[in-house]
Amino acid sequence: MNIITEKLKKGILIFDGAFGTELIKRVKSVGTVPENVNLTRPEVVSEIHRAYLDAGADVISANTFGANRFKAGEKSDEIISAAVALAKQAAGSKAPVALDLGPTGRMSEPMGDTSFEEFYECYKAAVVAGKGADLVLIETMSDLTETRAAALAVKENCDLPLIVSMTFDENMRTFTGTPVDSFVYSVKPLADVIGVNCSLGPGQLIPVVERILSLSDKPVIVQANAGLPDANGVYGVSPEEFAGYAEKFRRMGVSVIGGCCGTTPAHIAAIKSKVGRENLFKPASPPPAVASATRTVYLNGVTVVGERINPTGKKAMKEALRSGNMRYVTERAVEQEDAGAHILDVNCGIPEVDEAETLVRLVRHLETVTDLPLQLDSSDPTALEKALRRYSGRAVVNSVNGEQSSLDRVLPLVKKYGSMVIGLTIDEKGIPKTVDKRIEIAEKIIAEAAKYSIPESDIIIDCLTLTAGAEQQQAVNTLEAIRRLKSAYNVKTALGISNISFGLPCRQSVNTGFLTAALWAGLDLAIINPNVRENIECIDVFNVLSCRDKGATNYISKYSDPAKNPNGSDGGVTANADLGYLIRRGLDGSEAAAEKLLASGMSGDELIEKILVPALNEVGTAYEKGTLFLPQLIASAESAKGAFNAVKKYMKTGTGTAKGAIVMATVKGDVHDIGKNIAATVLSNYGYDVIDLGKNVPPEDVVDAVKKHGAKLVGLSALMTTTVRNMEETIQLLKRECPSAKIMVGGAVLTKEYAEKIGADYYCPDAQSDVKFASEVYGN
């Protein structure tokens, strides 16, 4: 129990209103750090706090909203400390004081340059500096990664109650695209009160408030703006009107009400006099769902979990994880999403890698390429903990089992991060042979979870898929166990289907048969390869026959159109089309044309040397002369890629080996990478092995990659005057650590003279010059 929960038992809580608008009325100038007034004009700050207390606020917020280290710099701690002291002094014993933490004004990776850890440290410092406060309010947040880091920083560095509020627009999303649902499912476990503030006036917030209340089993806060500002910064909603909405919110179930931009002591006084005191909040029973920062997936109906990001028995994935080939992982993720997966299982449990570090890296990478929520698949609690901590969303933990040590180690993590959890019906005695034994283990898992107040609805039971070839009777037992569990408990069920057919011929037929039976037994989550058509078809048919696909609309529209070609059109170009022509003109169809040539007996090397390279060279020269411009150059490069793919597929062993490794990176601090990405494409289409490290890359990572891949050439890009110094630092480090590697640089901020000055070997004014230098370095 904490002071907020205690107070809410007695009635609603009224928060204060805007500080900024009150400040401007009283001081002549407000600079880039408004919170400096805590140091320069403390009497004004106290006056504003007293005005809100006199108006009837039950809680006041210290003037610390933008006082974090990112915005206020070195004076942050001093400002926060002073602000809390002033608020405490004004409030005395009358009202608790909230440490008010707003956003840092930075964007999380991958869109921005700020890491989870950097956010955490910033908010931690604020919590420590503000330790005189009675509770913490994190508000006006848009970025889910930042919000979670802030919430964890509070939870792990003090014992104060925590309120977390995000800002949503009329589309029910934050500026970074986080929907209301994702916020609630991800943040509710970390806070005591959640809600919405800012951005919109009270009337416009009603749909957002409704949605939050429908999903939250924790009390809800609403602090609306007093409407929208006009040209003179005057807000339109009067105190009376605002109070009218506040009463409406209270009747809906909101129990903490205050005001944001444009509200005044008069608005708070109106709330105090017009709004009833009774707390009408009723905790909702949120339906089972998982979430990423940009999408929430409800577990109603059949949920497809893509199983492909898993090295077990998959040599190529194992190799990709071992070598850090994120592109391979991206392809598997996107492929599964396109095929209809709703959730992606992620597993990297092989001895060759540090599982915890790799799992976190995968989580961070996958959030750049897919919206799908993740299922974290690991038997290493440390890996699970690190991944759960970092994950911006609500994940599924795969898994716990009936063994006490598994439950003791993993359930606390599930509780802390509020995830869903898969429970395997296996324990220290081994794989159960009977239906009863499966149920018994499931019941144990449910009972243990209840000790942590983890409800049945957060639990997914996996009754185990044993190979029918070896344990034929167990298939029926598993199906019966699912049936019984679904009728007796409010849990979901999952199965990894493919194991059923191991060792049998015509594996897919067995998989399809088992999947069908499991669905009819009540299976909720099918962990499958969604890229196998028959798996998805099976589910689509089930959805028709079980009446979930009303009118079979989805089935009919999906399966009636035989002309659909998901791989993109061939543009009507016949297979006899001249490959060189296609490349010179940047047209589609090059892959098919190349395949035809290879099938007719041309070797891969010949195709590359006699057709691809001359065509690309011709295009390159035309570009340099100015008779072609950049989009045409790129279209040709992409056309060439199709041909290279055909060569790679045809010649499975070793021919067309890469012409040499080139490490490419956009330097630390810079996130403008489109130019570098274009150059990387052009180089790889010329046959080089491009290791693209991405953007915001520290110098040490570039050096590591050069050493690891034996690259003789490095390409660095920077866009800004402020980041080009990091380019210089990277070059200096490379010269020390990898003296034989040549360095080419590009980016709008560079000139030939500057490139020379910072020690680069080559200056690339455009995409084509990279190729010239590469061929010089590698002599090909």
Residues forming contacts to another protein in the complex (CB under 8 A) are 28-33, 66, 71, 102-103, 105-107, 110-114, 140, 142, 167, 174-177, 198-199, 230-231, 233, 330, 334, 368-369, 585-587, 626-632, 634-635, 637-638, 669-672, 674, 677-678, 681, 719-723, 751, 765-766
Q: Could you give the CA distance from residue 780 to residue 763 in angstroms, rounded to a whole number?
A: 20
Between 333 and 612, CB nearer to another protein: 333
List Cα–Cα distances, 238 to 169, 228, 264, 266, 371, in angstroms: 21, 12, 10, 9, 41
Between 443 and 624, CB nearer to another protein: 624
Q: What are the DSSP calls for 688-736, one per residue?
A: -EEEE--SSB-HHHHHHHHHHHT-SEEEEE--STTTHHHHHHHHHHHHH
Angle, helices 355-369 vs 381-390, to 10°: value is 30
Walk across the sheet containing 689-692 and list its strands. Answer: 689-692, 661-666, 713-717, 742-746, 762-763
Residue 56 Cβ vs another protein, minimum distance, rounded to whole Å? 26
Between 146 and 524, CB nearer to another protein: 146
| CB-CB neighbours of 630 under 10 Å | 12
Residue 605 Cβ vs another protein, minimum distance, rounded to whole Å? 26
Q: What are the DSSP calls for 166-192, one per residue?
A: E---TTSB-TT--BHHHHHHHHGGG-S
Between 403 and 570, CB nearer to another protein: 570
Answer whether the bond into residue 283 is a cis peptide, omega within 30°. no
Residue 723 Cβ vs another protein, minimum distance, rounded to whole Å? 5
Query: Degrees (nearest 5) of the Cα angle 623, 627, 633?
Result: 35
Residue 298 Cβ vs another protein, minimum distance, rounded to whole Å? 23
CB 370 within 8 Å of CB 342: no
Between 465 and 666, CB nearer to another protein: 666
Residue with token string 């078809």 = 537
Between 404 and 627, CB nearer to another protein: 627
Residue with token string 């848009």 = 142
Backbone φ and ψ of 134, nearest 5°: -100, -20
Q: Is residue 740 exposed (0-12), middle (13-18) or buried (19+ Cβ within 10 Å)?
A: exposed
List Cα–Cα distances, 463 to 402, 426, 666, in angstroms: 11, 8, 48
Residue 7 Cβ vs another protein, minimum distance, rounded to whole Å? 28
- What's 608's DSSP letter? I
Q: Is residue 298 exposed (0-12), middle (13-18) or buried (19+ Cβ within 10 Å)?
A: middle
Between 163 and 706, CB nearer to another protein: 163
Between 98 and 479, CB nearer to another protein: 98
Between 343 and 628, CB nearer to another protein: 628
Q: Could you give the CA distance from residue 635 to residue 590 in angstroms, rounded to a whole number?
A: 12
Residue 544 Cβ vs another protein, minimum distance, rounded to whole Å? 32
Between 115 and 490, CB nearer to another protein: 115
Residue 586 Cβ vs another protein, minimum distance, rounded to whole Å? 7
Residue 386 Cβ vs another protein, minimum distance, rounded to whole Å? 25
Query: Degrees (nearest 5) of the Cα angle 582, 583, 588?
Result: 55
> Residue 294: which residues within 8 A CB-CB, separation 6 or more?
177, 178, 179, 182, 371
Q: Is residue 429 exposed (0-12), middle (13-18) or buried (19+ Cβ within 10 Å)?
A: exposed
List Cα–Cα distances, 175 to 169, 201, 388, 553, in angstroms: 8, 17, 24, 34
Residue 768 Cβ vs another protein, minimum distance, rounded to whole Å? 12
Between 350 and 720, CB nearer to another protein: 720
Between 604 and 747, CB nearer to another protein: 747
Residue 334 Cβ vs another protein, minimum distance, rounded to whole Å? 7
Distance of CA 141 to the CA centre of its chain: 16
Residue 191 Cβ vs another protein, minimum distance, rounded to whole Å? 19
Q: Could you give the CA distance from residue 660 to residue 192 in angstroms, rounded to a whole number?
A: 56
Q: Where are the beta strands (DSSP E) in 36-179?
A: 60-61, 97-101, 135-141, 162-166
> What are the start-end ranges of the H helices in 229-314?
239-252, 265-274
Q: Is residue 93 exposed (0-12), middle (13-18) or buried (19+ Cβ within 10 Å)?
A: exposed
Q: Could you give the CA distance from residue 461 to residue 438 in angstroms, rounded to a whole number?
A: 10
Between 317 and 640, CB nearer to another protein: 640
Residue 751 Cβ vs another protein, minimum distance, rounded to whole Å? 7
Amino acid sitting at position 577: A
Residue 260 Cβ vs another protein, minimum distance, rounded to whole Å? 9
**What does the block give as tokens for 4?**
């907020």
Between 112 and 513, CB nearer to another protein: 112
**What does the block give as tokens for 594?**
């190349």
Distance of CA 76 to the CA centre of its chain: 29
Between 108 and 398, CB nearer to another protein: 108
Between 299 and 582, CB nearer to another protein: 582
Residue 112 Cβ vs another protein, minimum distance, rounded to whole Å? 5
Between 142 and 401, CB nearer to another protein: 142
Residue 681 Cβ vs another protein, minimum distance, rounded to whole Å? 5
Amino acid sitting at position 157: N
> What are the start-end ranges of the H helices in 546-612?
553-559, 579-585, 590-599, 604-606
Query: Degrees (nearest 5) of the Cα angle 164, 165, 166?
Result: 130
Q: Which residues are paired to 665 by β-bridges?
A: 716
Between 542 and 686, CB nearer to another protein: 686
